[in-house]
Amino acid sequence: MPQLDLEHRGEKIGLRLWTLGFWTQETVLDLYAGEGNLSRLYAPHCKKLICVEKDEEVFKRLEETVQADNVEFHNCDNMGYLDSFHEPELTFVDFDAFGCPNVQMAKFFERHLVTRALMVNVTDGSLLNFNRGASIDIEKYYLLNVFPEKRLEERDLKAKRGLKRLLPWLAETFVHALAARYGFSTHFVYHAMSSKSNVLYYGFIAYPETSTGLWATGKTPVLRFKKDVRVPVKTLRRHLKT
């Protein structure tokens, strides 16, 4: 079982390896595998590793870095791979998109039926978009139309101030919305803002939906937001303006 590297606590590598040891891993999916820095650490701890990388030059380095008999390589775009994705024995997935990962996550859960515990690790670089002068439609990519149309004003949603503090809440809201839409339950394990850049790392366990038990269901928070939309909208505006 890989141990959490104390020198990387709160950073991506340490958190990924820590959650990798939660249980015996069957199939691990590494989306945007890059040059394989994490993939080579995943390979010894799973029965099957799937690495997806679009860039041809980076893909060549990935194949050189990760040399193991249990690895399956795909030189393609993540969304293209997910179009035909079918891995029922999946137990661990790593979303490491450059920017907002939510479109890929929505596509993944649209394709993947959660029938067993699945550890999901995410790198959310949405704040990097703001640093480059771009913007992101928070209502579309995070809230999944949970709130009434146009209830959140555009000028509030595209504000930069306060978003760093608010991003973990938005990410959790998004995951609960996915759980409600695709019928699984969730338990958040961690979230941490990188100490070196404005990147959010978070992880959660997705598991078959149940109406009882310690963690309850992924639907609960979403139903509460629909019942009384005024409180979260007011909170969102307050944080974005501070």
pLDDT at 45: 95
C-alpha 174/C-alpha 178 separation (Å) is 6
pLDDT at 26: 95
pLDDT 10s digit of each residue in the chain, 242 long? 333 333 444 478 888 999 999 999 999 999 989 888 899 999 999 999 999 999 999 999 999 999 999 999 999 999 999 998 899 999 999 998 777 899 999 999 999 999 999 999 999 887 765 554 445 565 565 655 444 455 545 544 454 445 667 788 888 989 998 999 999 999 999 888 876 667 889 999 999 976 433 333 333 333 333 333 344 444 444 444 44
Q: What does the pLDDT read at residue 188? A: 92
pLDDT of residue 218: 36
Task: Specify the DSSP element, H or E, that contains 230.
Answer: helix 230-240
Q: Give residue 136's pLDDT.
A: 58
Rounded distance between C-alpha atoms, residue 202 and residue 200, angstroms: 7
What letter represents residue 230's amino acid? R
Fold of 6-240: Rossmann fold (3.40.50)
pLDDT recorded at residue 14: 87
Q: What is the pLDDT of residue 162?
A: 55
Q: How far apart are CA 155 and CA 49, in angstroms?
A: 43
Sheet containing strand 184-193, edge to edge, reads 71-74, 46-52, 25-31, 90-95, 118-124, 200-208, 184-193
Residue 208 backbone dihedrals phi, psi, to 5 degrees = -55, 140
Q: What does the CA dihedral 42, 44, 46, 47 come to, rounded to 10 degrees?
A: 140
